[in-house]
Amino acid sequence: MQTLDAHPSGRHFLQIPGPSPVPDRILRAMSLPTIDHRGPEFGQLGKRVLAGMQQVFQTQHPVAIYPASGTGAWEAALSNTLSPGDTVLMYETGHFATLWRRLAERLGLEVEFLTWPGSDAVLPEAPGWRQGVRADLIEERLSRDTAHRIKAVCVVHNETSTGVTSDIAAVRRAIDAARHPALLMVDTISGLASADFRHDEWGVDVSVSGSQKGLMLPPGISFNALSPKALEASRSAKLPRSFWAWDEIVEMSAGGYWPYTPNTNLLYGLSEALDILLGQGLAQVFARHQRWAAGVRAAVNAWGLPIQCADPKVYSPVLTGVILPPGVDADAVRKLIHQRFDLSLGTGLGKVKGRMFRMGHLGDSNDLTLLAMVGGVEMGLKLAGVPLAGSGVQAAMAHFAASPSPGTPADVG
C-alpha cells in the first residue's frame, strides 16, 4: 500500500462510483485565485452555474446550490417541505435509500418503507437490492391513503449501492393515477449528468444531487432542483431549517449570490464541468455512459459472475455491482486489488457488505481506463482463487472495439 508521502508511479485508478475521476481541466479551473463572494465577478459566476445546472436538471425552475455533501441536500429537500410527524413513503432499493430513510426519521418524520415482495436465490439476504422501484406498489399504497396522510414519495434514481436505476416517470404516473397530492422527491445524486434525468418532464418536485459523481467534481457541493409545488409547500412547512432554507438561497441566487459563503473554487470547477458536459451535449454524455456500462457488463458476464442488477431494463449506466460466489469475501478481493494494482473499487454497503463490489464507470474515463479497471479486477479475482468462466478483458475489448466512442470528457479538453 502506498504511503501518503511516496509519489506513486502512474495514476491511481479511482473506480469507485463516486467520488469519480476529476478531469485535469476541472482541477486547473479550481486552482484560480479565490475571489470576493460579494463582488461583481462572483455574481456572473453564480448566475452562470445556476443557469447551467437548470440545463443539467432539465428544469425551468429554481435550483439551490449548497456548500455541502449530498446528504445535506437530502435534509434540505425534506426540511423545506414537510412538518414534524408528517408521513413519507420511501422505497428500499438499497443502502442509500436506507440512509435517506434514517435521515427522515431523525428529522421527526414517519417513514413507511416499501420493499420488493419477491425472493432472490442469488442474494437471499437482500432480494429487493437487485431491482428498481415498482411503481405499481407505490400506486397501490397511495390509492389506499384516501385521507392523504402521505405527504411525499421519496425514491432513489440511481441506487449507487447496487447499480440499479428506477423509472422516475413511472413513479410520477403512479402518483397521478392514484390522484394523490404527495410531493415526488428524487435522489439523483449519482444519476445526474450520467443517466438521463428530467426534472420538469417527469414531474419531480424536489431533485437532490451532488458534485462528486456524474458532474466529475470533487465532493463538496450539492443541489436541490425545485418545482412550483415544492416552493408552495415550503411556505407552510414547519420543520426547522435555516442553513437549508430555500427562501433566502433562492432569492439571493437569482442575482448570482448566496446568503453565506459558497465554496468559490468548487464553483469554478462546476462552471468548467458544465462547459464540458453541455458542450458535448447531454444526449452524448448519456450514450457514452451506456456504452461503457455495456462493456463492463460484457466483462462480468464473461467471468460468469452475477451482475447485482437482476433486471436488464434498469441496469445502471454509472456503475456495475458484481456478486461473488458464497464464501468469497468481496472486501478481501477489493483489498488485494488495491494493494497489487493501485485500483480502488466500491465496497459492498449495508446488507451486501462482503458479498459484492462495485465497478464505477463515470467521471473522467475512457475505453482504456475502463479496460485497465477490468484487467485489474480480472487479475485480482484470479489471485483470490475465484473461478472464472472466461476472460472479461477479452469481452470488454471486443465490445469497445466494435463501436467508436461517442466522445469522452478528454476530447474537448
Residues of the shown chain interacting with ligand PLP in the complex, contacts defined by CB under 6 A: 18, 69-71, 96, 156, 160, 187, 189-190, 210, 213, 219
Pairwise CA distance, residues 352 & 370, whole Å: 24
Tell the smallest beta-carbon distance from residue 215 to ligand PLP (Å): 11
The closest alpha carbon to 85, from 150, 142, 140, 138, belongs to 150
Report the residue number, 42 or 96, with the smaller CB distance to ligand PLP: 96
H/E stretch holding 152: strand 150-156
Report the residue number, 22 or 189, with the smaller CB distance to ligand PLP: 189
Tell the smallest beta-carbon distance from residue 267 to ligand PLP (Å): 17
Pairwise CA distance, residues 193 & 27, whole Å: 18
Tell the smallest beta-carbon distance from residue 351 to ligand PLP (Å): 16
Report the residue number, 66 or 116, with the smaller CB distance to ligand PLP: 66
H-assigned helices in 107-151:
135-144
Q: What is the CA radius of gyration of the chain?
A: 21
Pairwise CA distance, residues 244 & 46, whole Å: 18
Pairing of strands 158-159, 164-165: antiparallel
Report the residue number, 165 or 371, with the smaller CB distance to ligand PLP: 165
Cβ-closest residue to ligand PLP?
A: 70
Tell the smallest beta-carbon distance from residue 13 to ligand PLP (Å): 19
Burial of 8 (0-12, 13-18, 19+ CB in 10 A): exposed
Tell the smallest beta-carbon distance from residue 318 to ligand PLP (Å): 9
The closest alpha carbon to 345, from 334, 361, 356, 354, belongs to 334
Residue located via cell numbers 384516501:
146
Tell the smallest beta-carbon distance from residue 400 to ligand PLP (Å): 26
Pairwise CA distance, residues 319 & 346, whole Å: 9
Pairwise CA distance, residues 112 & 258, whole Å: 35
Q: How many CA atoms lie within 13 A of 394 on its CB side?
A: 6
Q: Is 172 annotated as a binding residue?
A: no
Report the residue number, 167 or 367, with the smaller CB distance to ligand PLP: 167
Report the residue number, 73 or 250, with the smaller CB distance to ligand PLP: 73
Tell the smallest beta-carbon distance from residue 340 to ligand PLP (Å): 27
Report the residue number, 62 or 94, with the smaller CB distance to ligand PLP: 94
Which residues, in sequence order, are CB contacts of 144 under 8 Å at separation 6+?
Answer: none
Going by the annotation, the residues of the binding site for substrate are: 358
Going by the annotation, the residues of the binding site are: 358
